[in-house]
């Protein structure tokens, strides 16, 4: 069934101009404002694959911090762990949402505190779609 769907989507996209296909669309980007002196925060995005092929989010960066990594908060035996997500796969037609308590972009060693109302650039590198730059809105809690 999935194979048929993929084949159909591929056919549809194949008939359209491949260059016009939006492929990966990133929306709803936000980052939590700095809490006190903590140089660490988390950013969240929604990624939709409107293309015909699997795509993978390979890396994230921001000029506002020394490092940004895709992480997942995972509970194992009542112990919360933060595991690195090496590459996030987004299938054609799939929307992946990063939300508090789940997958997030961990932003480490902020160069300056983030204040609510500002924006923070996020550069997302995808295997197929290449670099996509979005402005993440800096918000208070939740």
Residues found near another protein in the complex (CB under 8 A): 32, 35-42, 66-67, 71, 73, 75, 78-82, 100-101, 104, 106-109, 140-142
Least distance from C-beta 71 to another protein, angstroms? 7
Least distance from C-beta 135 to another protein, angstroms? 19
Nearer to another protein by Cβ, of 24 and 105: the residue is 105
Q: Which residues make Cβ contacts (< 8 Å) with residue 20, sequence separation at least 6?
A: none
Least distance from C-beta 90 to another protein, angstroms? 20
Nearer to another protein by Cβ, of 40 and 128: the residue is 40
What is the rounded CA–CA span in Å between residue 28 and residue 21? 20
Least distance from C-beta 75 to another protein, angstroms? 5
- Residue 54 exposed, middle or buried by CB count within 10 Å (0-12, 13-18, 19+): middle
Q: How many CB atoms lie within 10 A of CB 37?
A: 6
Where b means 16+ CB within 10 Å and e means fewer, 1-36 reads eeeeebeebeeebeeeeeeeeebbebeebbbbbbee
Nearer to another protein by Cβ, of 21 and 108: the residue is 108
Nearer to another protein by Cβ, of 18 and 74: the residue is 74
């Amino acid at each position: 069934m999935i194979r048929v769907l993929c084949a159909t989507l591929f056919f549809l996209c194949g008939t359209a101009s491949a260059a016009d296909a939006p492929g990966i669309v990133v929306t709803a980007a936000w980052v939590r404002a700095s809490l006190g002196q903590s140089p660490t925060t988390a950013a969240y995005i929604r990624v939709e694959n409107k293309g015909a092929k699997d795509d993978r989010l390979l890396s994230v960066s921001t000029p506002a911090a020394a490092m940004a990594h895709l992480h997942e908060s995972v509970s194992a035996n009542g112990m919360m762990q933060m595991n690195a997500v090496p590459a996030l796969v987004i299938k054609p037609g799939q929307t992946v949402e990063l939300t508090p308590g789940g997958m997030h972009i961990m932003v480490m060693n902020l160069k300056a505190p983030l204040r609510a109302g500002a924006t923070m650039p996020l550069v997302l590198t995808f295997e197929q779609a290449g670099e996509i730059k979005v402005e993440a809105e800096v918000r208070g809690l939740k």
